[in-house]
Structure 1
Amino acid sequence: MITINKKLRLRLLIQNGLFVLLLLLLVGLLGYLGRENSIQWDISQNGRNTLNQASVEVLQNMDGPVTVTVYATAQDARLGDIRKIISDFLALYQRIKPDFTLTFIDPTEHPKITQEAGIKVNGEMIVTFNGRSKHLTIVNEQVFTNLLIRLVRSGEKLVMDLSGHGERRLDGRANHDLGEFGKQLSMIGFKTSALNLAIAQDVPVNTSVLIIASPQVDLLKGEVDKILAYVARGGNLLWLIDQESLRGLQPLADKLGLTLTPGIVVDPQAQQLKAPITFALGANYGQHPVTRNFNSITVFPFARQISLNESKEWNSVSLVEVAQNGWVETGKLGSNVTFDKTHEVAGPVSIAAALSRTLQDREQHVAIIGSGHFLANSYIGNGSNLGFGINLINWLVDDENLITIQPRATLDSNLTMSKSALAIIATGFLIVLPLFFVVCGVAVWWRRKRK
């Protein structure tokens, strides 16, 4: 038998005291770590509760605070608690950017301030960054991040598309036009305009990018000279080339060291995916800012090979290689096309290239794509054609760190329930179900007692 004397009692007291003290320190340390380090897991099927990596990169590139002022009442007749909807959405951005602040103003309590701010819709937001502000009425990651891109983009970027020769138009609605692409460019802060060099004296000096998209008739020599002068002084260029002839632009091809191989790229892999064999699938990309972190499939209908000669003047990179098991078909396309190794070029085939050079202390960028169809209204929704096209423009204007956000499919959705439904569920789980188990337990006990 152990006798507890004063000495042993003191030792036990010290041990217990140290144990309690260490336990409290451990709890405090865990609490501190929990407050300083937030770890979250998004288990929704399409990452709906976290920002797209592209949005994260845009926030990380924003040097300075972002302020969002929301003009919203406590309750909206159609959306309910609109403040909570907006607050929960913007919390995704606040987790990434600590200096992202959110302020709510009730239009009914501050009508004068609301009127002076030009607010027209309940829930309208004013987003401010670096002294610039823009209004927004849509709660959507793609739209909101594109608005941030417009705020970040320094100055106005003018994208001009050559016109007057049957080219694909940035404002056109026909299937072969680039209207949807032009619309997306406008959404992320670019200004688009057509350029007819038969009328204009020259390519405007404030042009950020000139797009030549598959002219259908020959350009006049004077027009070609204006384009050559634009390139010579450091202008950025996106040239979309289809199967037709160069329409008088051979001098431009010579200037860039471009060699065009006749024929259409045939990709058997596309046929295996139930697509036409003339749809070249892009999945193998070169190392370049345009394709940085770009791993999506692109589709280039009726593509042609793009070859660049070695040049001391230009640095060139092949952007996209297609048809690993295909070839460049120079004969007639039929149901049973076969590769002729004596006359045709075997895959992989380069169909897009980027050129750059330093001119007058600035970087000049040129992109050449062997398919104007890939940005056409009919095909821009295939694969990640739109994202690739936006990346091209961003690189051409030297804003490759700004990328576009494509909408993610909503594979799962929120379950929104009324207060009465929540009350019924809470009553069932917190009162009815426990009471049921108690009654069952009492019944079992009573039955056993009677035995």
Structure 2
Amino acid sequence: MNKNQENSYIYILINLVKSTSFWSLISGVTGVFAFLLGGGLYLTFEEMSDVLLLVTSLGAILILLAIGLSPRAIAIFVSGRRGRFGLNAALMTLAVFIILLVANYFMFTNPNRIDVTATRFFTLSPQTVSVLKDLEDKNQKVVAHAFFVENTASENTKTTVEDILNEFSRKSENFSYRFVDPEINRSEALNFGVTKYPSVVFSYNDEQNYVVTNFTEQEFITGILISTGKRQKTIYYLTGHGELTSTSDPMFQKQEDYGLDLAIAGMQRDNYFVLPLNLQQFEVVPSDASVVIIAGPDQDLTDIEYEALVNYAKSGGRILMMLNPNPPKLFNDLIYLYGVVVTPQKVADAISNVGGETLTPLLQKANAQFATSAVHQNINIADDISVAFFPDTAALQTAPPEEFALRDHITFYELAATTPISWLVAPGEDPEYNVEKYTGQYTISGVIEATGTFEDLGSTQDLFKLVVFGDSDFASNKYFYSNDNGDIFLNSVNWLAEDYELISIRPKLVPYREFVVNSLEKEFVKWSSWVFPPLIMILMASIVWWRRR
């Protein structure tokens, strides 16, 4: 390169630097880049919103500066053929962007949602919506304070909590929520009595607080009900006759398989005050008993205990009775007063059972083995029960339907039954089927509503409600969390206690889905998602350019 060429390049460079068109171009390109980058990231990273808003504003200023530095050149460009095409493309892009923003705004502010998950995980139950609506009707303002430490481990849990609380806030203007980092605001956490993280505190009027550490829709509704002052009902479970009872060892944190600990914990989560009841000590059922639970006794009642339970039933009590095959006589006599007995035999089911064990009938909603509120109005215990099993269950024998039809004061509702290919197995008998066995559908759970005993000619007492099962093992620690066993137990308690809103707010199943691929398939997914979309766009752009060339 000779000296004249060097001088010419320097001359061109100096002219470019002096030219307003050059700086207009630099400002325009930089401004567009900063505006798009800052605006895009502003919508993505909330924690950097201040800096990104500054970058976006700076980009807009540079674009205006570019127009101000060279308005004539821009006017010529816009009025030209390329300018018109470019301007049209820019306006169309801007229009699409604005339409997306407006659509997103209306979708965000609209409380209606379309839940496409298989288990309707994000759909609130009707009873939850009713509880939230009551906040507005009663002008009660509830605030949820979610205490989460900012770390990656709790991010998924935080997302789940925020999804549920966000749906709550959309359904009621009187419900709001906020997230607090307890490591930064430790004093606030201590003021709410929170020492375990993560936790959610439901507060009403900044006075009544309820702490939740299990993050489900049901737990959150319980928190709202308790914080707004709903009365805590008392549930008693009978002891002293070999029943299932609390077996927790606080020192070793263990519990026996055939205990009632998980059922008790479930009732406590439903906002019940759960206490043992020894009738040998009190000789009367306490007047504050909302429900009395009798779970698998193997020893009989005394006459005084029997009379105490009969008096409780006749005073309009509520009893959940889970008896095993061949139960003690006076327990069977108690339900016999209302036309039902538990058989001494076990039920075997050849069609629907657990692992080929015919003495463990498996009841399935798909087989129409549960009676829902569509069959028995106002009895919704089994509405959301899909599968439950009852190891070594007995059958319920009742008076003939025509006998019940003659008694308007007493009604029996079948709640659950085996398949038609079932038979009874006597103690010590081979459970295998033989041709001499009578097969049929056997009731293993039922509901009684009565204002008099079976022998009465009419109403003689307050309305008594009884839910009876021919098995108690399904509610034990060993099987409580198997299938829907725990739910049908808790639903029975809720129905007897007339807490119908809790029946429909059981925790929803979160399905686990895994996309399993080998190494070649993984590489195909990766490269096809990286390469194919840009190639398709380049191909479309090339076709458009060729046609307009």
TM bucket by the smaller chain? 0.7 to 0.9
Deviation of 1:390 (Å): 0.8
Distance 1:237 1:212 in 2: 8
Q: What does the per-residue CA deviation read over 1:392-419, in whole Å, with 9 as the maximum and x for residues that have no partner?
A: 0011111123225235244149xxxxxx
- Contact 2:148–2:199 under 8 Å retained in 1: no
Does 1:168 pair with 2:238?
no
- Taking the TM superposition and a 5 Å limit, the aligned residue runs for 1:379-398 are 379-398=479-498
- What amino acid is the match of 1:293? D
Q: Does 1:134 align with 2:218?
A: no
Q: 1:279 deviation in Å?
A: 1.3
Equivalent residue, structure 2, for 1:70: 145
* Aligned match for 2:500, one of 393, 397, 400: 400
Aligned to 1:90: 165
SS of the aligned residue for 2:280 comes to coil
- Between the aligned partners of 1:94 and 1:378, the Cα distance in structure 2 is 38
Report how far residue 386 of structure 1 moved: 0.9
Equivalent of residue 430 in structure 2, options 334, 345, 354 = 334
Which has more radius of gyration?
2
- Is 2:439 the partner of 1:353? no
Note the aligned Cα RMSD (angstroms): 4.1
Q: Does 1:284 align with 2:370?
A: yes
Given the two structures, how large is their TM-score scaled by the length of structure 2? 0.61
- SS of residue matched to 1:340: coil
Picking from 257, 282, 292, the partner of 1:200 is: 282
Q: How many Å separate the matches in 2 of 1:395 and 1:153?
A: 21
Query: For residues 165 and 226 of structure 1, what CA distance do their matches in structure 2 show?
Result: 15
| CA deviation profile, 1:377-397 (whole Å, cap 9, x unmatched) | 222233211111111001111
Aligned length: 396
Q: Measure, in 1, the Cα distance between the counterparts of 2:480 and 2:109.
A: 44
- CA separation of 1:434 and 1:298: change in aligned 2, threshold 3 A: closer
- Aligned partners of 1:72 and 1:82 also within 8 Å: no
Aligned counterpart, 1:190: 272
Q: Note the C-alpha offset of 1:312.
A: 4.0
CA contact (8 A) 1:75 1:82 kept: no
- Contact 1:166/1:217, CA 8 A, preserved across alignment: yes
Letter of the aligned partner of 2:384 in structure 1? F
SS in 2 for 1:228: helix
- Provide TM-score, normalisation by structure 1: 0.73
1:161 Cα offset (Å): 1.3
Deviations 1:252-307 (A, max 9, x none): 13322223434211111135x62410112223325252335334122112122213
Pick from 380, 386, 395 the counterpart of residue 305 of structure 1: 395
CA displacement, residues 92-133 of structure 1 (integer Å, 9 cap, x when unaligned): 333444542123456677666554333435654321359843
Cα separation, partners in 2 of 1:389 and 1:85, compared to 1, 3 Å? closer
Amino acid at match of 2:443: S
The residue correspondences of 1:101-250 to structure 2 (distance < 5 A) are 101-104=176-179, 113-121=188-196, 124-128=199-203, 132-141=208-217, 143-148=219-224, 150=226, 154-171=230-247, 173-250=255-332
Q: Do the aligned partners of 2:315 and 2:464 also contact (CA within 8 Å) in 1?
A: no
Which amino acid in the other structure matches residue 289 of structure 1? I
Amino acid at match of 1:101: S
CA apart distance, 1:34: 5.7
The CA distance in 2 between the partners of 1:114 and 1:196, in whole Å, is: 40
Contact map agreement 1:284 1:322 (CA 8 A) in 2: no
Instruction: Specify whether residues 247 and 33 from structure 1 end up closer, same or farther in structure 2 by C-alpha distance, changes over 3 A only.
Output: same
Among 33, 53, 58, which residue is 2:128 paired with? Answer: 58
CA contact (8 A) 1:161 1:170 kept: no
- Taking a change above 3 Å as real, the CA distance of residues 406 and 36 of structure 1, as seen in their structure-2 partners, is closer
SS for the counterpart of 2:474 is helix
Residue 307 of structure 1 aligns to which amino acid in structure 2? Q
Distance 1:257 1:144, change over 3 A: same
Q: 1:73, 1:335 → 2: CA distance?
A: 55
| Separation (CA, whole Å) in 1 of partners of 2:219 and 2:445 | 29
| Alignment partner, residue 411 of structure 1 | 512
After superposition, what is the alpha-carbon deviation per residue over 1:347-372, rounded to whole angstroms, capped at 9, x for unaligned?
21111111123589974311111111
Q: Which residue of 1 aligns with 2:334?
A: 252
- Write the distance in 2 (CA, Å) between the matches of 1:89 and 1:436: 39
Secondary structure at the counterpart of residue 501 of structure 2: coil
2:370/2:382 contact within 8 Å kept:
no
Specify every segment of 5 or more residues in structure 2 that has no aligned partner in the other structure, as ranges. Answer: 1-94, 249-254, 364-368, 452-458, 515-525
Distance 2:461 2:327 in 1: 35
Measured after TM superposition, the shift of residue 35 of structure 1 is: 7.3
Contact 1:218-1:247 at 8 Å conserved across structures: yes
Q: What is the alpha-carbon distance in structure 1 between the residues aligned to residue 435 and residue 478 of structure 2?
A: 29
| Pair 1:377 & 2:453 matched | no
**Aligned-residue offset at 1:247:** 3.8
* More displaced 10-residue stretch of structure 1: 213-222 or 253-262: 253-262
Contact 1:265 1:323 in 2 (8 A): no
Give the stretch that moved more between structures: 214-223 or 33-42: 33-42
Does structure 1 retain, via aligned residues, the 8 Å contact 2:146–2:177? no
Q: What are the ranges of 5 or more consecutive residues in structure 1 without an aligned counterpart?
A: 1-22, 414-424, 446-451
Q: Secondary structure at the match of 1:305?
A: strand
Aligned residues of 2:323 and 2:471 also touching (Cα < 8 A): yes
Q: Relative contact order, CA 8 A, sep 6+: which one is greater?
A: 1
